Amino acid sequence: MPTSIRNVLECRLGLGRIALPTEAIDQLGEYEVGTTLPLRHRITCAIGVWNDQPILSVSLAEREPVARRTTHGAVFTPTKRGLRCAFEIDEPIGLAQITSIGAPPSSLPWRRTATLADGRTLQWIDVATLLQEIAGLVAA
């Protein structure tokens, strides 16, 4: 599915790399999170603190329950509903440009394969769709 060129932040996540749309990112940084929330889902969520404000920290990694840990993440621009979320990453790599984004799989509509301007492919996170899914989890 062709798309116009989009600016993204390329990030290391585990052994792979992902791309987050730059327009969705408010800040990058390190923050504290508490134990994982007991939501049965394909993503892991925990309550964190960013600049003395609560945030919902989203991770694709399954985590052992711990009382508290420090993580790195991309803090997203607040949603209209006031939900403040962050996406856990291992480290930012740099800015890149996406020239095309594939169709989403039905099981993970917020995770797509994207082609960068240099020809590499990686996973692109559709932040708007991910935040809609999270809002549905939190409201349930």
Q: What are 96's two structure tokens?
A: 């890149």
Query: Could you tell me the sign of the dihedral formed by the alpha carbons of 132, 138, 139, 140, in that order?
Result: positive
Mean pLDDT by 10 residues, the chain (140 residues): 78 93 94 81 84 89 75 86 86 95 86 94 92 71
Q: What are 128's two structure tokens?
A: 């708007």
- Spatial contact of 3 and 101, defined as CB atoms under 8 Å apart: yes
Per-residue confidence (pLDDT) for residue 63, from 0 to 100: 64
- Domain ranges in the chain are 2-139
Residue 41: partners with Cβ closer than 8 Å, 6 or more residues away = 137
Q: What are 61's two structure tokens?
A: 């990694």
